[in-house]
Structure 1
Amino acid sequence: MKKSQIVLVIASVVAVVLLFVFGKVTAPKSAANQAPMAQQDAGAPPAIHFADILQKARQQLTPEQNQRVLSLENAVTRGDVKDQQIHVYHQLARFWKDSAHVFEPYAYYMAQAAKLENSEKSLTFAAQLFVDNLLTENNPAMQHWLAENAKDLLDKALVLNPNNDSSKIGLGACYMFGNISDNPMQGILPVREIAQKDSNNLYAQMVLGLGGKKSGQLDKAIERFQFIVRKDPHNLEAIFQLAETYDMHGDKANAIHWYETAKNMINNDAIKKEIDKRINELK
């Protein structure tokens, strides 16, 4: 199962679907194999260009779908009125989301529309598409592409509202996970400040927990995920992350417990099968 083609991540249950269905459920890397974040992301990944993403995506379309996309793309080029261009970008986004089920063009065209609209709501919505996918992406080059797109949108949103903590956290995640800086503290510090100011900001706690997991600071990551689950017992994403972090830590009993907890909250036989497979590997 591959993760290259996904639909919109909205709720935590969908985030878990991404982790299980679009990325095969296998044993996570142990802490011993985790390099510190700054070392892990050292070096610029190869550049990904949207033209290449689009060309590959179009290879999956039927002739009729390709003709539809070409017609819409030409309409963008011809459109000389901003509202008309926004409308066409939304049409392109809906096509890639609803008809083709390919995430990257969907997010890209939502971003193009948001930049023209230039409202905080549209910019942050489009940015969150990239950030949500960034948090579950493993390919360094794709991480970079997602983070650069999210950062562009969040920078614009923060000009409109410099006090939006969610935008600041999303921007921090871009630096932490997106290979766009050789100094991940550039992203960690603002998120940590928000979490210290408001410990109940579960978005900040999640990003910091994922950062700890990535850098091999598993005890700290577990503390963050446990805090989220105490505050929100139905947060499926945090429960899964807790299971996988215990798994990485070598704590099989707790890993099995939290995998079982996640499984009991999911109504999807394919996902449950993948979870059972990992549980049986741990026994």
Structure 2
Amino acid sequence: MSRPQILIVVAAIALAAAMFFLPKVVVNEDDKNNIAQSETAAVPEGHSEDDGHDHGAEAGAGGTAVHTAATPEQLMELATARAKYNKATDAQARNRLAAELGEAYEKASKYDSAGYYFEIAANARGGEKSYKRAGDAYYEAFTFAATQERANELGAKARGMYEQVLKNNPSDLDAKTNVAMTYIASTNPMQGITLLREVVATDPNNQKALFNLGILSIQSTQYDKAVERFRHLVEVNPSHVEGTFYLAVALAETGEKEEARALFNKVKGMSNDPALAASVDEYLARLN
């Protein structure tokens, strides 16, 4: 994960291990003061470049870049879809092709552009699924935004799409959780915390909300709360690698070294990722 941010809030975890699964985050000093007394929060970050789409200010030089390289086949598909869209003159055809172009951008990991074209299609056809697709693309772009300004912009875009989803389906807890995380990145982080707690109140076993609340607890050095969140998460899903890793981290920080050591060793058997293994080894070295 790249970290070209204003300030990365990971002081609670000194080693690189803590960075392995942490959300991509940035908060400024005012944000830190606003949320210091609660399960505080993460603003996703990433990297940016002009991705070449042609919708003007919606992308611009501050757009979100790919975080994985597009294949030649994906780039060819993207060029073909863009050409078809640009040549279409009928409004109905352009709206249909907007969804195809959005899909091509999504496959090429250019999520801000994907969101833009999915939004065009959603506004034309309506429907919960269309707005959810646009919201998911904007949210993915939001998690890789390179600046606070860009995170705010993309977070607002994602919220706008998800609000359309929740208007028709208030029980879509995935959309609600993503809305919560965009608020956490904004000047109103407590709104995000409130929404996450509402999700857990509705669905106590919601893995995404439990994980995010656990991460926020770690970042605010509320390790006891983090243990509670992650212990519940791994009870719900014993194969949750990230949850197991962070439960071990939280336990290590609360002095429960034996249980933490056992869980770190368990994590090594749950994943073949060499970066994760190296992070676990560093933590185990600290515990010895």
Under TM normalisation by the shorter chain, which class is it?
0.5 to 0.7
Distance 1:89 1:185 in 2: 34
**Would you say the 8 A contact 2:214–2:226 is kept in 1?**
yes
1:18 maps to none
Instruction: Determine if the alignment matches structure 1 residue 94 to structure 2 residue 104.
Output: yes
Q: 2:98·2:118 contact (CA, 8 Å) conserved in 1?
A: no
Question: 5+ residue gaps in structure 1?
Answer: 5-24
The AA in structure 2 aligned to 1:152 is G
Q: Which has the higher helix share?
A: 1
Partner of 2:10: none
SS at match of 2:61: helix
Counterpart CA distance in 2 for 1:61 and 1:125 is 20
- Give the superposed CA RMSD: 4.3
Match of 2:220 among 206, 215, 218: 215
SS in 2 for 1:121: helix
Task: Tell me which amino acid in the other structure corresponds to 2:16.
Answer: T
Q: Number of paired residues?
A: 248
Match of residue 173 from structure 1: 181
Counterpart secondary structure, 2:18: coil
Out of 63, 76, 90, the position equivalent to 2:85 is 76
Cα distance in 2 for partners of 1:174, 1:258 equals: 31
- Cα distance, 1:77–1:159 mapped onto 2, change above 3 Å: farther
Could you list the runs of 5+ residues in structure 2 that have no partner in the other structure?
5-14, 20-28, 49-57
Find 1:164's aligned residue among 165, 172, 180: 172
Give the whole-Å Cα distance in 1 for the aligned partners of 2:32 and 2:126: 39
Partner deviation per Cα, 1:115-171 (whole Å, 9 max, x = no partner): 444321232244345546756889644543442232121111122223433332322
> Counterparts of 2:170 and 2:64 in 1: how far apart (Å)?
37
Query: Quick one: distance in 2 between partners of 1:87 and 1:269?
Result: 41
Shift of 1:26: 0.9
Deviations 1:237-260 (A, max 9, x none): 322332344466676655544333
Q: Secondary structure at the match of 1:51?
A: coil
TM-aligned CA distance change 1:55 to 1:69, over 3 Å: farther
Taking structure 1 as the reference length, the TM-score comes to 0.64
Seen in structure 2, the aligned counterparts of structure 1 residues 267 and 94 have a Cα distance that, compared at 3 Å, is farther
Partner of 1:206: 211
Name the CA shift for 1:217/1:281 in 2 (closer, same or farther; >3 Å). closer
d(CA) in 1 for partners of 2:287 and 2:262? Answer: 11
Provide the residue aligned with 2:35 in structure 1.
38
- Contact 2:112–2:141 (Cα < 8 Å) also in 1: no
Residues 1:26 and 2:16 aligned together: yes
Q: How far apart, CA to CA, are the structure 2 residues paired with 1:72 and 1:202?
A: 36
Kindly indicate whether the alpha-carbon contact (under 8 Å) linking 1:213 and 1:221 is maintained by their aligned counterparts in 2. Answer: yes
Query: Residue 186 of structure 1 corresponds to which residue in structure 2?
Result: 191
Structure 2 residue identity aligned to 1:219: D
In structure 2, give the amino acid aligned to 1:81: A
Q: Tell me by how many angstroms 1:214 deviates.
A: 3.2
In the alignment, the residues of structure 2 paired with residue 113 and residue 192 of structure 1 have an alpha-carbon distance, to the nearest angstrom, of 32
Query: 1:57-78 CA deviation, whole Å, 9 max, x = no partner?
Result: 6xx8899987875554354344
Paired residue type of 2:194: L
Partners in 2 of 1:191 and 1:215 — Cα distance? 16
Aligned partner of 1:144 in structure 2 is 152
Given that 1:75 and 1:88 are in contact with CA atoms closer than 8 Å, whether structure 2 keeps it comes out as no
